[in-house]
Chains A and B, each alone.
Chain A
Amino acid sequence: MAAINRDDVAHLAHLAHIEMSAEELDRMAGELAVIVDSVKSVSEAAGDDVPATSHPIPLTNVFREDVVGHTFTAEQALSGAPDAYEGRFKVPAILDEG
C-alpha cells in the first residue's frame, strides 16, 4: 500500500476543510505515515470469503409511528448559530465572485 506523504495530507486537509500551515503539514505527514504503517497489516488479515461487519448488532426495519414528535422552535434551532438573520442561519457566500 502506498505511503502517505505531505502532498496527500495537503489534499486530505482540503477535502476535510481544515486549513493547515506548512509546518503543520510536515508534522502531520510524519505522524500519519507512522500510523498508516502500523495499520497496514489489517488489509492482509481477512480473505475474500470473510463478510464485512458494519454494525456490531445489526437491527433491521427500525421504524417509528408516523406522528409528529418533538421539534425545535426556530429560536431553539438558531440558539447556537454563530450568525442568524430573520429566523434563518446566515451562511457566508457559497461562490467566490470576486
Chain B
Amino acid sequence: MTENNELIRSSAAALAGKLAAREVSAVEVTQAHLDRIAAVDGKVHAFLHVNTDEALAVAAEVDAIRAAGGAAAGELHALAGVPIAVKDLIVTIGQPTTAGSKILEGWHSPYDATVVERLRAAKMPILGKTNLDEFAMGSSTEHSAYGPTHNPWDLDRIPGGSGGGSAAAVAAFEAPLALGTDTGGSIRQPGAVTGTVGVKPTYGGVSRYGAIAMASSLDQIGPVSRTVLDSALLHQVIGGHDPRDSTSLQDPLEDLVAAASIGNVAGMKIGIIKELHGEGYQAGVENRFNESLELLRGAGAEIVEVSCPNFKYALGAYYLIMPSEASSNLAKFDGVRYGLRVLPKDGPMTIERVMGATRAAGFGDEVKRRIILGTYALSAGYYDAYYGSAQKVRTLIQRDFDAAFAKADVLISPTAPTTAFKLGEKLNDPLAMYLNDVATIPANMAGVPGLSLPGGLADEDGLPVGVQLLAPARQDARLYRVGAVLESLLEAQWGGPLLDKAPSLTDPSLTGSALSDAAASSHGGSH
C-alpha cells in the first residue's frame, strides 16, 4: 500500500526514471493507478470510462520489450509505460467517446485522434476517458450529461471545466498525466482550481485531428500534469506537424524539456497585465499572485506593467465567435451518421422532425443555448454587427498582445478570478459561469500559448490559486522556462508540492456528508 502510494504520487518524469532503471514494472505502475481509480473515483468521478485491459496489455508489452533488451528496448520512448488519461472529447479506438453528451452515448470512434496515435507510438498505457462539460461547453463539468466531477480539494466544489475530469484525475493521483482541450481556458482554469499544471500550446502546435470540434479557430489540445516538467515531456509527445490537420503548424517542435530545465529567469522581462487582476479578483487570488511576482523579482526577473485595453471586449467577442463556430460544428449531429436517433412522438417521420427530436433529446441546456446564440450571431442582418465585430476585436486583442510582448518576454496574470466555487452555485446563471474564463480567453482569441501552475492556497478558503503565464505565438518554451523556475521557488517555500496539502481521499475518518453526497451524485447519471 505504501509502495503504491509512492508510485501514484510520483511525477511522470520520476516514473519514467524508475521504469528505465527497471526499479518498477510498467504493469505495477499502471495497476497502482487503476487501483487508485477504483478506490477514489466513486467520490471524484473524474472518469467516464476505465480502460483496464488495454492499459495493462500495453504496460505488459513495455515490460516485455524492456526485459528482452536490445535495440527495441533502447528505442522505447522515455515515457513508455507511464500511464495517461484522455479527455473524452478526443476520439479513441477501443473505448467509447461521448464528449460528455447523451447524443454520443456508447459511440465508438472508428479512428484514433493523432494525439492518441502518438501516445500509442510512445507506448503510454491509456487509463481511460475523463469527464467534461458537454462538448467542452462550461467551466465546472456540471454540464456533463453523466454528472459532475468533484474537486479533490473539496468534493462539494467544482473541479473547473471543461476539462475538470482530466485535472481532477491528476490532482487525485489517479493518473500522472492527462490530455485536455482548451477553447477558452478548459485546460488552464481546471488546473488553477485543482492545484495542477495545464498548458494550452500555441494554436496549431498540437494536432486537433480527432478532437471533436467546438470552435475550430480557438480549440487546442494540450497537456495536464502535476509538474511543469511533466507537461513539457507530454507536450513533446503530442506536439509537432500533422498533415491531417490543415491548421497544424509546420515549425519543428522546440526542446521544451530543455526549457523546463534551464533553471533561471535572470534578466527576463515579465509583464503584469493591468487589466487582468485587481477589481473582480478574489483577495486570496490576488495575494498569491503578488507573492509569485516577488519570487520572480527575487530570482532576477524584471517585472514590468503592460496594458491590454481591448481585453475588456474579449469575453463578449468570445461569446459570439465560439457559439457561432460551435453551432456550425454541431450541425453534424443529425441522427443519421452516428449517435442518437430519436423519433418524434407522432406526426410525419421526416428527417427534419427526426433531427429536431434527436437534438432536443440529445443535447443539454448549455449546448442548446450556445447553438441558438451562434445561429443568431450568424443570421442575416446580424452577422456584421456580431460575428464580424467579434472578428475585429480579435485583431485588436492580437495588437494588444503584440504591444505587450514588445515590452515583456512573458506575461503573467491570475489564471482565474476566484478559487473553486460550490457545485450548483453558478449553474443557473450562465453569465456568472462565463466570467470564470475572463483571464484565459484572450490567449485563445490570439492563438498564443498559456500555462497555469499552482500559486498556493487562498487565505480565505484554503483552496488552490492558479498563476497564468502567456508567451508569444510559437514561444511555448518560455512558458516552461519561467514556469519551472516559479514552481521550484514556490515549492521551496511550501516545503514540497502544493498537492501534499490536499486532503486524503481514502482517510476513513472522512466519511462526512460531503463524501457520501458526492458518491451518491456521481452514480446519479444525468442531472
Instruction: Assess A32 versus B373: contact at CB under 8 Å? Given A45-B389, A53-B391.
Output: yes
> Are B394 and A57 in contact, with the CB atoms below 8 A?
no
Chain B residues 172-203 with CB under 8 Å of chain A are 202-203
A39 CB–B CB distance under 8 Å: yes
Instruction: Assess A59 versus B392: contact at CB under 8 Å? Given A42-B386, A93-B348.
Output: no
State the interface size on chain A (CB cutoff 8 A). Answer: 55
> Are B395 and A43 in contact, with the CB atoms below 8 A?
no
A3 to chain B, nearest CB (A): 11
**Helix, strand, loop or mixed for chain B's interface?**
helix
Q: A40: which B residues are within 8 A, CB to CB?
A: 316
Look across to chain B and name the residue whose beta carbon is closest to the beta carbon of A17: B355
Q: B339: which A residues are within 8 A, CB to CB?
A: 80, 82
> Are B391 and A95 in contact, with the CB atoms below 8 A?
no
CA distance A31 to B446 in the complex (A): 28
Q: A45: which B residues are within 8 A, CB to CB?
A: 310, 313, 317, 389, 392-393, 396
Q: Pick the residue among B108, B349, B388 that contacts A92 (CB under 8 A).
A: B349
B406 CB–A CB distance under 8 Å: no
A72 CB–B CB distance under 8 Å: yes
B361 to chain A, nearest CB (A): 9
> Are B372 and A92 in contact, with the CB atoms below 8 A?
no
Q: B129: which A residues are within 8 A, CB to CB?
A: none
CA distance A70 to B117 in the complex (A): 14
Q: Pick the residue among A13, A38, A72, A91 that contacts B316 (CB under 8 A).
A: A38
Q: A50: which B residues are within 8 A, CB to CB?
A: 392, 395-396
Sort A-B residue pairs by CB-CB distance and give the 9 closest, nearest first.
A56-B447, A80-B338, A82-B341, A46-B392, A52-B391, A39-B316, A19-B360, A53-B394, A19-B356
Extra inter-chain contacts (13) besides given A28-B369, A56-B218, CB under 8 Å: A1-B382, A15-B375, A17-B356, A34-B431, A36-B376, A42-B317, A45-B317, A45-B389, A45-B396, A51-B395, A80-B339, A91-B336, A93-B350
- 29 residue pairs A–B, Cβ–Cβ below 8 Å: A12-B375, A12-B376, A12-B379, A13-B372, A16-B359, A16-B372, A17-B355, A17-B356, A28-B368, A28-B369, A35-B431, A39-B320, A39-B386, A40-B316, A42-B386, A43-B385, A45-B317, A46-B389, A53-B394, A54-B391, A56-B218, A56-B473, A57-B447, A59-B246, A80-B339, A81-B338, A82-B340, A93-B349, A94-B351
